[in-house]
């Protein structure tokens, strides 16, 4: 297993630790530790892709697992942040619905022997979602307006990236003869 794939797996392993610090009350500096873990996990997303492309280590496993690891990390965070009252549930539903739709498309494509990599819109979406999550975890009153703006940008990019993805990959839904 190459380094980028190990970083992707590491990101998935960090999720339960992140959730414990975010959700378990009474842990000193819990939000800040959760934020640190989330940032480290998010940076592995940046690193694994750069390393894979630079050293030609792109694999089908990475093309599949990297976006899945991102979805697990971001969706776990957003669901918990909804429970903590830091993001409206309708925004989380939009984001998660997009992720399920894209995952379904990827499964259909994979069944037809096609692996679909993430698009630039998807990467922008993920970046803004991760920044929004960081701001929500930090929960700093002076940054509430910025948090709201970044969160709305993330939701808009979520919808734009879905539309882009569906248009570019519409042939995946055509029946194979």
With H, G, I as helix, E, B as strand and everything else as coil, classify residue 13.
helix
Only one residue has tokens 């990599």, namely: 117
Rounded to an integer, what distance in angstroms lies between the CA atom of residue 89 and that of residue 54?
Answer: 39
Fold classified for 3-173:
1.20.120
Rounded to an integer, what distance in angstroms lies between the CA atom of residue 127 and that of residue 24?
Answer: 26
The whole-model pTM stands at 0.89
With H, G, I as helix, E, B as strand and everything else as coil, classify residue 117.
coil
Please list the pLDDT of the chain residue by residue as tens digits (177 residues).
999 999 999 999 999 999 999 999 999 999 999 999 999 999 998 899 899 999 999 888 988 888 889 889 999 999 999 999 999 999 999 999 999 998 888 888 878 877 777 788 988 998 999 999 999 999 999 999 999 999 999 999 999 999 999 888 888 777 554
Other beta carbons less than 10 A from residue 160's beta carbon = 14
Q: Nearest Cα to 8, choosing from 39, 38, 49, 37?
A: 49
Rounded to an integer, what distance in angstroms lies between the CA atom of residue 92 and that of residue 95?
Answer: 5
Per the CB < 8 A criterion, the answer to whether 128 and 153 are in contact is yes
Rounded to an integer, what distance in angstroms lies between the CA atom of residue 34 and that of residue 16?
Answer: 10
């Amino acid at each position: 297993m190459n380094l980028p794939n190990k970083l992707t797996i590491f990101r998935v392993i960090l999720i339960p630790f992140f959730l414990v610090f975010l959700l378990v009350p009474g842990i000193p500096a819990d939000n800040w530790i959760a934020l640190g873990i989330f940032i480290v996990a998010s940076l592995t997303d940046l690193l694994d892709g750069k390393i894979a492309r630079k050293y030609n280590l792109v694999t089908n496993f990475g093309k599949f697992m990297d976006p899945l690891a991102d979805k697990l990390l971001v969706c776990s965070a957003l669901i918990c942040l909804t429970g903590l009252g830091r993001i409206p549930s309708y925004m989380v539903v939009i984001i998660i619905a997009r992720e399920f739709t894209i995952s379904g498309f990827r499964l259909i494509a994979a069944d037809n022997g096609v692996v679909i990599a993430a698009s630039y819109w998807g990467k922008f979406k993920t970046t803004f979602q991760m920044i929004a999550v960081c701001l929500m975890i930090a929960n700093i009153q002076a940054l509430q307006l910025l948090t709201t703006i970044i969160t709305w940008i993330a939701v808009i990019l979520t919808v734009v990236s879905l539309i882009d993805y569906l248009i570019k990959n519409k042939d995946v839904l055509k029946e194979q003869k």
